[in-house]
Amino acid sequence: MDIEAFSELFPLFNTASPETLQWLLSVAVEHSYPRDRAVLMEDAWGNAVYFIVSGWVKVRRLAGESAATLAIMGKGDFFGEMAILDESPRSTDVVALCKVELLSVSAQRFIQTLFKDPQLHHRMLQLMVQRLRYSNLRFLLRDRPPAVKLAKTLIVLADQYGSTTEQGKEILFIPYSDLSQISDIRVEEAQKIIEKLADKGWVNIDKSRHSLSLVNLRQLTHLAGRM
């Protein structure tokens, strides 16, 4: 991957200097994981920052034998940065929702890069603030109807990671169990709402490609905006 493609794929690096991009690519390590494989275990947080080249992952909170999905991430995003900054232990892991291609940069090298390139440092802070705003949005939606919560989740995922196709904005067909947890609704509610949206023609499910397309983005946005 050349530095131009690297910068275009990852918003984190769109203000970084060419020297920074070249250095990061020279020290980055490539990884490939199949669906359902853990890509980052709870005892590995803080060792590196990971960048999603392709595919989708879920971040889970672990509690004994149970796990709850906290977030879904797709290509162009990154994870692991918080652990190298505060050096605290994590009771979370990251699991591939489909085949995933990643790049990793060791904690020490990434921190060195942040010190060398203030533009990169500033950009990372901006993106972390955006994540906090999304967390606040989920809090504001806590008392809204399940359909509004789910529509908002779909819109956010499409905006952040969706690919534009003839069908509309295409995202991964995320398992209902994970979709319900990040939307703060019940599994049966998530399945019923998705099926209803499909019947209306607002979304289209392609099970052969494990994809979900937001066909009627206007109506979904209207539904998500009912706050």
Maximum CA extent, the chain: 53
Q: Which of 43, 41, 69, 42 is nearest to 56 (CA)?
A: 69
- What secondary structure letter does DSSP report for 14? T
Q: What is the pLDDT of residues 46-87, one digit of tens each?
A: 899 999 999 999 999 988 888 999 999 999 999 998 888 776
For the chain, the structural domain boundaries read: 3-139, 143-224
- Tell me the backbone φ, ψ of residue 51, rounded to 5 degrees: -120, 130
Is domain 3-139 classified as CATH 3.30.2000.10? no
Mean pLDDT of the chain: 92
Cβ pair 70, 93 in contact under 8 A: no
Q: What is the pLDDT of residues 116-146, one digit of tens each?
A: 898 898 998 898 888 888 878 777 888 899 9
Q: What's the whole-model pTM score? A: 0.91
Q: What is the CATH number of domain 143-224?
A: 1.10.10.10
Cα separation, 179 vs 10, in Å, equals: 24
